[in-house]
Amino acid sequence: MRLATDERRQHRRYKLDNSVSLSSQGIFQVTDISRGGFCFRCPPFTPVTDTWDTDILTSAVSLEDFPARRVWISMKENSTHEYLPTIVGVKFGKLSKKQESLLLQLLDNLENNSSTSH
């Protein structure tokens, strides 16, 4: 029996709107975030290194110099054989206490907003 992706995840993911990942690799749209990592969208065939430091800018808080490690990449094409934006799954590296505190602050904010919007 295979578990659904959400059931295999170690941490709950929160959808992010109007948030970006900013690093030496470029500026990309962050689609969701969790205590363990995040996903971002980038143009097809964008080179993504194995590890890097990134800033994640949201309306609630800025997460600066977060260590990141690429875990997976998903690239698909549509029915007209045009490549759709690439989705990249990222795991956070070792965070400082300050970084962990800021991340938890963001996740608490997202949790509170998601529970009030239902």
Tell me the average pLDDT of the chain: 89
96: its two tokens: 């400082």
Name the pLDDT band for 22 (thresholds 50, 70, 90).
Answer: very high
Beta carbons within 10 angstroms of residue 109's beta carbon: 15
And the tokens for 29?
């749209």
Q: Is there a contact between 4 and 46 (Cβ–Cβ < 8 Å)?
A: no
Q: What is the largest CA-CA distance in the chain?
A: 48
- For residue 103, the surrounding DSSP H or E stretch is helix 97-116
Distance (Å, rounded) from C-alpha 44 to C-alpha 58?
24
Q: What is the pTM of this model?
A: 0.85
**Domains of the chain, each with CATH number or no CATH:** 8-116 (2.40.10.220)
